[in-house]
Amino acid sequence: MEVIYDSRAGGSVEARADLLAFFERSEALRDRAKLELDGTPQRARIDAVMRQTLPLQLAHDVAIKSKHGTQSEPPWAGDIGGDVVSQSVSVFVGTRQSAHYWRITYTPAGAGQLGEVSIDALVLSQEVVAAWRSLLVDVGLLV
C-alpha cells in the first residue's frame, strides 16, 4: 500500500486494482488460516476475532464487495460496511509517476444521526496488517 501512496508508474486503474487486491488478500488469509487450523479449537477464533476487530471487519467488507459487487449478508463493520469512496491523485509531471490516496467509509451499527465514518486506506491497511499479525500469533500460526 505504501508504494501506491508514495508514487509509482501507472494510473488510477492499476492503483485501485492494487488497493482492492490488498483487501482481497486479507480475506484469502482468513481462508488459509482456517484451513491450517481445521480440526482444532483455534479455527473458530479466526472469525470470532475478525468480527470483533474493526480493521479486519472493514477489510472483510471491502473484499466481499470487491469480489462480489455486493454483500449478501450483513456487513461486519456496522450498518453499512466498508466501501472505497473517494480518491485523490498527485501526478508528478514529466516523471510518469503518480500517488493515489483513498478513503474507506462505513456506518457504525446504531450510529443513527452520526452517520458515516471515514478512514484513510493506508492507515487502515497498516491496522489490518497489525491485527492479522496479532491474531496469527494468538492462534499459533505465527511466532
Going from N- to C-terminal start, the domains of the chain cover 2-138
8 Å CB contact between 55 and 131: yes
**Residue ranges in 1-143 assigned as alpha helix (H):** 2-6, 12-36, 43-52, 54-68, 121-138
For residue 110, give the amino acid letter. G
pLDDT for the residue numbered 84: 65
pLDDT for the residue numbered 79: 61
8 Å CB contact between 62 and 85: no
pLDDT for the residue numbered 85: 62
pLDDT for the residue numbered 28: 96
pLDDT for the residue numbered 132: 97
Q: Is the pTM of this model over 0.85?
A: no
pLDDT for the residue numbered 139: 97
DSSP 113-140: GG--EEEEHHHHHHHHHHHHHHHHHHTT
CA distances from 86 to 7, 55, 105, 131 (A): 18, 18, 9, 24
Give me the average pLDDT of each 10-residue run along the chain (143 residues).
63 76 94 96 95 92 82 72 62 63 77 75 92 97 94
Dihedral, CA atoms, 111, 86, 74, 78, nearest 10 degrees?
-30
